[in-house]
Amino acid sequence: MSKKIRFASDILFINVLVIVLIVIIFLFPSNVLRIIIGLPFLLFFPGYTLMAALFPKKNDLDGVERIALSFGLSIALSALIGFLLNYTPCGIRFYPILLSLSFFIFVTSVITYYRRYRLPVEKCFIPSFRISLPRWAGLSNIDKVLTIVLILSILTALGVLSYTITTPKSGERFTEFYVLGPEGKAENYPHELMLGEKVILNLGIVNHEGQEMKYNIEVRIDGAEYKKVGSLILNNEEKWENRISFIAQKVSNNQKVQFLLYKNEEHKPSETLHLFINVTQ
């Protein structure tokens, strides 16, 4: 039993971190661990488990190649999964991407465990890390100074990274405003319509302002007010998405359909979206 655990210790560690990340996202969405674990989850874990499943022997690849390919494949896999999700009812959304990547990591982990289990111990890839520190008494004065400078530099870098992650920036406060096609995807926007034809789109707002916000939406066609939606009150990180429709009322080309977003009773729109339609008889 100990050999099995030894063979999958790195894979087991990654899967535990994935489970921890899922729990944090669903129960503690503002926790800093979400960022700390989320970065390797996107940029390293998928590629690493795939490489481990494809190349379970220690002589298949060296350590540098495994690490480099893990980063490259993770980025490619994340983009590919997002591309495929765009053609499903889920669309490119945070939770579908999270669950899809987690499922991919779990599946490749099971394959890795199975393939490593079938290999002899001496041929199985088992990651190991060894750090040996030189004896302080045997160092020259210059080496001691350089060692202290190196340690202080690492501690300073870690401190700056921790401050950057935990301290919110004022520039990060914004409102996400988007329009999707009839199927809820970023495609199939209407362009050629018949007079009197009804169009249904999906409008969405996500509040990243750090406080409760009130929103109003105005729809204009060729500069004329057509419809208003409001008043929408969203808490920080709260999302609103709903269908909105309009009818082609006159025959003309290049009619500009605008979606204007107003914050907190402001008179000027903070965000503007638009599309152009051609209406024929």
Half-sphere exposure of 22 (CA within 13 A, CB side): 17
**What whole-number distance in Å separates Cα of residue 190 and Cα of residue 198?**
10
Is the confidence at residue 134, as pLDDT, over 60? Answer: no
**Per DSSP, what are the bridge partners of residue 180?**
202
> Which amino acid, residue 98?
L
The crossing angle, in degrees rounded to 10, of helices 9-27 and 33-43 is: 130
The whole-chain average pLDDT of the chain stands at 83
Q: How far apart are CA 66 and CA 60, in angstroms?
A: 9
Answer whether 7's CB lies under 8 Å from 116's CB. yes
Separation of alpha carbons 99 and 105, rounded Å: 10
Q: What does the DSSP 8-state code read for residue 133? A: P
Q: Is the pLDDT of residue 219 over 90?
A: yes
Residue 280 pLDDT: 92
Q: Over range 22-33, report the average pLDDT.
A: 80
57 pLDDT band (50/70/90 cuts)? confident
Query: Which CATH entry fits the domain spanning 173-280: 3.30.56.10, 2.40.160.10, 3.40.640.10, 2.60.40.10?
Result: 2.60.40.10
Residue pair 219/275 in contact (Cβ under 8 Å)? The answer is no
- The pLDDT of residue 185 is above 50: yes
**pLDDT tens, 154-172?**
677 656 655 555 555 555 6
Residue-level pLDDT at 4: 44
Q: How confident is the model at residue 118 (pLDDT cuts 50, 70, 90)?
A: confident
- Dig out the tokens for 79 from the structure: 């983009």
Q: Domains of the chain: which residue ranges?
A: 2-130+156-166, 173-280
pLDDT above 70: percentage of residues in the chain = 85
